[in-house]
Amino acid sequence: MYGLVNQAVEELVRAQHGDATWDLIKARAGVDTPAFVGMSPYPDEVTYRLVGAASEHLGVPAGDLLEAFGEYWTLYTARKGYGNILALAGSTFVDFVQHLDHLHAHVAMSFPELRPPSFWCTDVTDGSLRLHYRSTREGLAPMVVGLLRGLGKMFDTAITIEHVADRARGADHDEFQIGFTPPA
């Protein structure tokens, strides 16, 4: 994953638990990188080790941390100057979710080693859709739930999410049934 992801993990931990906690988590994860470079790729294992160490140190399940991180990531990327790129994907929650692959294709121009997941929507109605998610990385479905919650907040859209097909339980990809109420 790119350093930008690890920077966001660091910022989230520091903001919620302080600098000393981040230092302990990094040490527990065996990560001695003084600072992550946003545009540089790092082995996925570094991110997984940081999440695992944070889970152990904070006593919070890794899935819960990934969900919180997903929500945080949405706002983090907008604050870090990627708001214009995010705007390319759409001006409503539904438009944005339907154009996630387009967004990732655009981002890949700046991040040549990016291995983005794939998203596609089916069964789109005025109040629901089914989001399909496929990734080469395992265990990140909780992060998708957090991303969706963050997007709901970003677009002022009330959402409900049900994880209806789970790769961790044998499905070939994850599926989420999403209910939504757009802003009035």
Q: What is the DSSP secondary structure assignment for residue 39, as one 8-state letter? A: T
What's the domain count of the chain? 2
Return left, alpha or beta for 79; rule: phi > 0 is left, psi -120 to 50 is alpha, else beta: alpha
pLDDT digits (tens), the chain, 184 positions:
899 899 999 999 999 999 999 999 999 999 999 999 988 999 999 999 999 999 999 999 999 999 999 999 888 777 666 666 777 788 899 999 999 998 888 777 778 788 889 999 999 999 999 999 999 999 999 999 999 999 999 899 999 999 999 999 999 999 999 999 987 7
Structure tokens at 160: 């409900």
Q: Give the residue among 75, 18, 80, 9 at the shortest CA–CA distance from 48.
A: 9
Q: Please check whether residue 73 lies inside any domain of the structure.
A: no
* Model pLDDT, residue 48: 96
Predicted local distance difference test score (pLDDT) of residue 87: 75
Is 160 contained in some domain?
yes
The pLDDT of residue 37? 93
Amino acid at 106: H
pLDDT of res. 95:
94
Q: Are residues 94 and 177 in the same domain?
A: yes
Does residue 52 sit within a domain? yes
State the pLDDT at residue 153.
92
| Residue 68 located in a structural domain | no
What CATH number is attached to the domain comprising 156? Answer: 3.90.1520.10
Same domain, 55 and 103: no
**How does strand 158-165 pair with strand 128-134?**
unpaired
Q: Which domain holds residue 140?
A: 90-181
End position of a domain, from candidates 43, 60, 77: 60
Residues 127, 174 within the same domain: yes
Are 110 and 164 found together in one domain? yes
Q: Which two tokens stand for residue 118?
A: 């794939």
Residues 130, 55, single domain; the answer is no
